[in-house]
């Protein structure tokens, strides 16, 4: 059981999690020469697309392009987002681009976390370590039936990538750049070897 009075595990959204982590890195680890940051999405089952985009704002100052495709009307929607990570009203030079960024992914990296991984890879923001993500690309659609039953189903809108005007679904997951056995996911020495040999 998670006691949120002592453990903030689920009391922060992605943006606050990134913001607090970067403050700790800057404040407490000033004397250490940190060059590499691994974002662990291996057990992130997804959630809010806005939170995903705000998280990417800590990694890049480039506009974050979220591409969706509606299977019914075949409409493509490209949404560009910039993130003010330091809250000063200025969207430039907010990313922590002085670091080499990595993602740790696995079969439980799903939905919005899968989209995070897809955009990270498409924008070439760093290397993905681990195993293929679990996929999931459709936004959810809450439905209330006439008898009052509530259900949540996948909608017609899918997150996609595009290359040379060709649409590719990410429903089946994203392959890592560097494969890693699950037993080594939290083996710091193994992760350090991978980073050194990239």
Model pLDDT for residues 84-110, shown as the tens digit of each residue:
998 888 888 999 999 999 999 999 999
Q: Is 189 helix (H, G, I), strand (E, B) or coil?
A: helix
The pLDDT of residue 197 is above 90: no
Q: Beta strand 126-130 with 138-144: parallel, antiparallel or unpaired?
A: unpaired
Quick one: which of 130, 137, 96 has its CA closest to 113?
137
Average pLDDT, the chain: 88
pLDDT tens for each residue of 119-173: 999 999 999 999 999 999 888 889 999 999 999 888 888 999 988 888 999 999 9
* Contact call for residues 154 and 141 (beta carbons, < 8 A): yes
* Torsion-angle region of 135 (φ positive above 0: left; ψ -120 to 50: alpha; else: beta): left
Mean pLDDT of 175-194: 95
Highest mean pLDDT among 14-18, 25-29, 72-76: 72-76
Burial-class residue 128 by CB neighbours within 10 Å (0-12, 13-18, 19+): buried
Q: Assign 174 a pLDDT band (cuts: 50, 70, 90).
A: very high
Residue 16: is its pLDDT beyond 90?
A: no
Rg (CA), the chain: 18
The Cβ of residue 45 has, within 10 Å, a number of other Cβ atoms equal to 14
> What distance in Å separates the CA atoms of residue 95 and residue 33, rounded to the nearest whole number?
18
Which residues on neighbouring strands pair with residue 129, listed in sequence order?
Answer: 104, 178
């Amino acid at each position: 059981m998670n006691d949120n009075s002592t453990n903030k595990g689920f009391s922060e959204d992605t943006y606050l999690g990134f913001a607090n982590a970067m403050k700790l890195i800057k404040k407490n680890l000033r004397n250490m020469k940190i060059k590499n940051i691994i974002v662990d999405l291996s057990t992130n089952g997804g959630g809010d697309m806005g939170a995903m985009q705000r998280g990417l704002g800590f990694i890049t100052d480039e506009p974050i392009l979220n591409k969706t495709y509606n299977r019914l009307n075949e409409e493509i929607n490209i949404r560009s987002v910039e993130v003010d990570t330091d809250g000063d009203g200025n969207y430039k030079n907010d990313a922590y681009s002085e670091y080499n960024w990595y993602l740790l992914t696995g079969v439980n990296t799903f939905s919005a976390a899968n989209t995070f991984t897809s955009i990270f890879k498409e924008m070439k923001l760093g290397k993905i370590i681990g195993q293929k993500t679990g996929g999931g690309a459709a936004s959810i659609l809450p439905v209330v039936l006439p008898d009052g039953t509530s259900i949540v189903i996948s909608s017609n809108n899918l997150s996609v990538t595009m290359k040379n005007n060709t649409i590719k679904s990410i429903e089946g997951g994203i392959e890592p750049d560097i494969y890693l056995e699950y037993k080594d996911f939290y083996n710091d020495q193994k992760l350090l070897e991978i980073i050194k040999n990239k």
